[in-house]
Amino acid sequence: MQSEKRPAAIVTGASRGIGRGIAIELSRTHDVLATYRGRVDAAESLRAETGAAILQSDISSSADRAALIEHARARFEKLDLLVNNAGMPVRERLDLLDATGESFDELISTNLKGPHFLTQLAARWMLEKDAGRIVFITSISAYAASLNRAEYCISKAGLSMSASLWAQRLAPRGIKVFEIRPGIIRTDMISAVEKSYDEKIAGGLLPQRRMGEAVDVANAVRAIADGLLDYSAGQVLNVDGGFHMRGL
């Protein structure tokens, strides 16, 4: 069972990248249940490093989502924090004219439908105590169009609206919902185009002339987890080196 002194957190997609950074940070203060989909070795490494519990879970599966919450209920007396981080990039970057319905369905199911309905299950649990915090990890792609990965952009734009909807629905009951929009973060998800991004950043793409790291996103989650933003329900945190700013 959960320690009385340590709050409970679920972090989805936590074996690598941003999710791993978040799980490492939260494990300092929380009992963390970290999900992963395919990389057992990476998940086991996270468990060894942090002591977090791990669970294989495909967020796009309704059965897996239900099993995740059931597993968490058996482990924790209550749920203090859900971090909706699990997501995937397009398998192949294709022009808008060539993108396929199969890719669209996969991205929407994993990046949007999965976290939206996992939040529904978690929210029902949190409402038993009228307390808790929920974080959606979206992307600058929620508003910045990339014509060679349209389905990713659409999924993240939808997830941004999901965060807003849940924030409005749950705030009156004491549950705070936030959206974090990472920018260009150094993870294996962008490894194929990392050099191109480095060149663009050096050329002025970002006001802060560096690529983000997973710890930058984890620090934003830390502020939420510690209650520092509890009077800012529905807030969008741009962790993007200033990309969201506009100038002439």
Question: Which residues are marked as active site?
Answer: 152
Q: How many helices (H) and strands (E) does the chain have?
A: 8, 7
Residue 102 parent element (H or E): helix 101-108
Nearest to 177 by CA among 195, 161, 164: 164
Report the sign of the C-alpha dihedral through residues 100, 102, 105, 108, in that order. Answer: negative
Q: Is the dihedral of CA 65, 67, 73, 76 positive or negative?
A: negative
Q: What is the rounded CA–CA span in Å between residue 69 and residue 10?
A: 9
- Which structure tokens are listed for 52? 């977090």
91, 73 contact by CB (below 8 A): no
How many Cα atoms within 13 Å fall on the side-chain side of residue 209? Answer: 4
Q: What single letter denotes the amino acid at residue 138?
A: T
In this structure, are residues 188 and 16 in contact, taking their beta carbons and an 8 Å threshold?
Answer: yes
